[in-house]
Structure 1
C-alpha cells in the first residue's frame, strides 16, 4: 500500500512525518547505544545489578535500557498479532513519572520519581509509541506527550535529556511518538521551528561527500559527519513512520539527492537519506562499525535499522541484499542481545519485501521474542493467505518463476494427497 493511500487527505501534501530511535549515548552514567549509533540499547550486562522485575523482557541488567527494550518488544508483538501479557504492559506503564516522563529504568515504582531522577526523551518516546499502539492508555500517553512538548528545544528538536543539544535520533523518535499519539508534527513549533527544521539542519548538503546523509549532531567545529543510524532514524522521521516502519510500494526514483524544504517537502529529505543508505550498503550488503582499537565488524543493529528505513522509503530492491545478509547472519547477535534485537529483526521482517517473521533465516522471530518475557495473553496464528502473500513477494534464484506458483501448487498437491488418504481411510473402514 502506498503511503499516500493510507494518509488522511490533509496529510498527503506533504505527508506528515516522523521516526525512530535513540542512538544517543548517555555518556559515563548511561546507555551507550553502539558506537556507530545503533539504538538498540546498552551492551547487556552479564551480571544484573538489580533484580529482574516480573513482566520485564530480557534477563540482563535493565538499568540503562529497561523501558527501551520493553517498548520495542511490545511494539514488535503488536505488529505480529501477539497480545502481550498484562504484566508486561503494566510494567511499562508503571515506569512513568507523575510529570509524564520516563527514565530508562525505575527499580522501585512504589515511590514517586525523585527530583534528580534522570528522565530522557528516548525512553519516553519509545514508551509512548508502544502504549499508543496497544491502546487503553490514553491518560498516560497524553501526559507523556505534554512532557515531550515541554522539553522541545528552540531549534524545534530534542536532545537525549531535557535541555540537551538537539540530535537526529532523539528528534526523530520523539516526532514519531507524537505522530503516533495524534499530534500534527509539522505544526509543533518552538521559536518558530518544527522538528523537521531541526532535522534539516542536521542533513548533509547534496554536494560533496556523503550527500543526503544525516549527522547525529554537529561536531565541536559545527561540521556535520554522516552517521548511518542517525540517517536511518531521519528517514523514518521525515516519512511519518514509527519505529516499526512499514512496507511501501517501490520508489520509481530511488536515486539522486535533491535539496529540500523541511516545511513543505520533508519526504525529500527522507528520500535523500535512503539514497545514501542504499549506497552505503551497496558494497557488501551490511554496515560496519569499529570500537576503539578493534577491527571493523558487522553492525547488525544499524543494518537492521537501515533495512527498515529503505523499505519504508520504497527502496525495496536496495534492501534485498542487506535483508538476505541479515537473515543469514543475525541469529547469534540477536540471541546474545535479547528482546530489543529480536524486536528490530521483527521490524525488518514486517517492513522488508519478501521477509517473514516466522521464517527469518530459518527462525521464528515471534516465538523467540515471546520466549524472552512473560507468556503472551494471545497469539494470532499466521493464516494460509498470509503465507501465500509472503511467497508472492519472493522469487527463485533465477529471478523468474514466482514462488507463489510453487506454494499454490503445493497446496493443490497437498489437497489431492489429503483426498487420497481420506478415501483410503474410508475404504479401510468400509472393509
Structure 2
C-alpha cells in the first residue's frame, strides 16, 4: 500500500513520464495547504512534495547572487538530511527519517546547494555517498531507490557528482558508471535524424523503445554537457551545435559520452527554433502547452555546452513569460529556476534576486545592487589580480619619482 509520500513520488514520476514540469511546477499550487510551512523555508505553498527541491534551488541561486541567506534557511535544508546521507522531498519537524521516502532528486539538488553555499563538506560527502550507494546496477538512478532508473534522476545525480568534484566516470555499479547510465536514455543513430540527441524519460516498458521527452532532454542535457547548478561557464563555441554523426552502416550503439552534450544541444536547439523559442508539454488527447521548466533546463544545457547564442531565444521567452510561470514571483521553485537561467545567460538579475529573497527569511547579508545585477561573475584566471599588482607598483614608482622631483625643486635656490 502506498503512503502519502509514495503517492506523491508516483504522481511526480507520472508527470515526468508525460513531459510535465518537474517538482518546481508542483510548487506553491493554489490547493489547500496540507503541511504547515516551516520557518526558514522559501515559498508559502505546501512543502510536502517539493520542500527540499525549492529550498535547494533558492539557496543555489541566492549564493550565486552573492546573497548570504539566513541561518534558519540553511539550517532547515541541512536539518532535512537523514543520517544515511539522503534527503526526502520533505520531512516534518520532529519526524523520523524513513529510507523509503528519501529520493535522488532532492538529494542531488541539496548537494549542489550546499556546495554552492560552501562550508558544509560533511553533509555534501554524506549526500554523495548516499547517491553512490543507491545507484542502479545499470549505472542509472531512480527517483526512489529500488525502482527503474530514469533520465531526469540520472541527470540530476550526475549534476551533483560534478558539483562535488566526484568523477561520474568513476561512480559505478556492476561495471556500469554514471555516464553509462545516462546513455541508456539518449536517442542515437538508430533513431530518426530529427530525434537524435534527445533523451527519453524511460524506455517503453513493453518494447524498450526510446521516445523523445522535452523535460528529460532539458534536464539531462546539463549533465551530458558536464555541468551542475549554478551554471557559470564562460565556454563559447560560437557555432551551431553539431548533430550526432551517423555514417551509413554505423552500429546502433549508445551515444558516446564525448558526443552526448553536443548531440543534446543540437536536438534542443532545433526543438526551440521549431517551437517558437520554447519546449512544449504534449499529452495524448490534449493540445500542447508551453513547458517552462523544460525550456529553462534546455537553456541551461545549451549555455553549459558552449552555445549561449542558441539559448538566447529561450532566455528571452522565459523572461517575457516569467510572471506567468512564477505566479507573479510567488512560486519559489520557479522563481529560483528563472534566476538560475538569467544568471547563466549573464542578464540583469537584480529584480529576480529581490523577488526570491522576499520569499524567505531576511538574508544575513546581500550584495550591492550593481554586483547582484551582474551575476554570475566570470571565473578568474588570476590575470586580473596580477594586473592590479602591476598597476599598483607603477603608481607607487610614479608617485615616488614625482615626490623626489618636488623635493629637488624645493632644494634649489
- TM-score (normalizing by structure 2): 0.80
Structure 1 segment 83-94 matched on structure 2, within 5 A: 83-94=68-79
1:96 aligns with 2:81: yes
Instruction: For residue 146 of structure 1, report the CA deviation from its aligned partner.
Output: 1.4
Q: 1:310–1:316: 8 Å Cα contact kept in structure 2?
A: yes
**How far 1:192 moved relative to its partner?**
0.7
2:345 aligned residue: 352
Residue 387 of structure 1, CA deviation: 5.8
Q: How many Å separate the matches in 2 of 1:311 and 1:147?
A: 29
Structure 1 pair 370–352 and aligned structure 2 pair: CA distance change class (3 A):
same
Residue 237 in 1 paired to residue 223 in 2?
yes
Structure 2 portions without partners, runs of 5+: 1-7, 378-413
Report what 1:266 is aligned to.
Answer: 257
Shift of 1:281: 0.6
Find the structure with the greater CA-based Rg: 2
Q: Does 1:373 align with 2:360?
A: yes
2:209 to 219, 223, 230: 223
Residue 147 of structure 2 aligns with which residue? 164
- Cα separation, 2, equivalents of 1:165 and 1:198: 11
Q: 2-side partners of 1:174 and 1:241: how far apart?
A: 11
Q: Is the 8 A contact 1:234 1:270 kept in 2?
A: no
Deviation at 1:250, TM superposition (A): 2.7
Distance change (3 Å), C-alpha of 1:227 and 1:385: closer
Q: Secondary structure at the match of 2:101?
A: coil
In structure 1, runs of 5+ residues without a counterpart are: 1-24, 359-363, 391-431
In 1, the alpha carbon distance for the partners of 2:375 and 2:85 equals 44
**Higher mean displacement: 304-313 or 87-96:** 304-313
- Gap change, CA 1:197 and 1:261, over 3 Å in 2: farther
Is 1:82–1:376's contact at 8 Å kept on the other side of the alignment? yes
Equivalent residue, structure 2, for 1:255: 242
Q: Which residue of 2 aligns with 1:132?
A: 115
User: Is the contact between residue 31 and residue 65 of structure 1 (CA under 8 Å) also seen in structure 2?
Assistant: no
DSSP-derived class of the 1:330 partner? helix
The offset of 1:114, in angstroms, is 3.7
Secondary structure of residue in 2 paired with 1:82: coil
Q: Distance in 1 between matches of 2:115 and 2:200?
A: 29
- Contact kept? 1:126, 1:177, Cα under 8 Å: yes
Residues 297-333 of structure 1 show CA distances to partners (whole Å, capped at 9, x for unaligned) of: 2221211111111111122221122222221122122
Give a deviation string over 1:196-248, Cα, whole Å, max 9, x none. Answer: 11111211113514111111110121000011221122221122211332344
1:294–1:88 CA distance, 2 compared to 1 (3 A):
same
Partner residue, 1:329: 321
1:40/1:341 contact within 8 Å kept: no
**1:99 and 1:147 in contact (8 A); partners too:** yes
Structure 2: distance between partners of 1:29 and 1:233: 15
5 Å matches for 1:23-422?
Answer: 26-28=9-11, 32=15, 35-41=18-24, 42-46=26-30, 47-108=32-93, 110-114=94-98, 117-206=100-189, 207-208=191-192, 209-220=194-205, 221-251=207-237, 252=239, 254-258=241-245, 266-283=257-274, 284-291=276-283, 294-335=286-327, 338-352=331-345, 355-358=347-350, 364-383=351-370
Tell me, in whole angstroms, the C-alpha distance in 2 between the residues paired with 1:258 and 1:246.
Answer: 28
| Alpha-carbon shift at residue 133 of structure 1 (Å) | 1.7
Following superposition, the deviation at residue 169 of structure 1 comes to: 1.0
Residue 374 (structure 1) shift = 0.5
Q: 1:371 to 1:98 in 2, by over 3 A?
A: same
User: Can you list the C-alpha shifts for 1:127-172, whole angstroms capped at 9, x where unaligned?
Assistant: 1111122122222222221111111111111111111111111111
| C-alpha spacing 1:233/1:222, structure 2 compared with 1 (3 Å) | same
TM-score (norm 1): 0.77
Conservation of the 8 A alpha-carbon contact between 2:64 and 2:375: no
Q: Using the alignment, how far apart are the partners of 1:303 and 1:31 within structure 2?
A: 19
8 A Cα contact 1:254 1:271, kept in partner: yes
Query: Matched residues in 2 for 1:237 and 1:197: separation?
Result: 12
SS of 2:310's equivalent in the other structure is helix
Comparing both structures, which one devotes a greater share of its residues to helix? 2
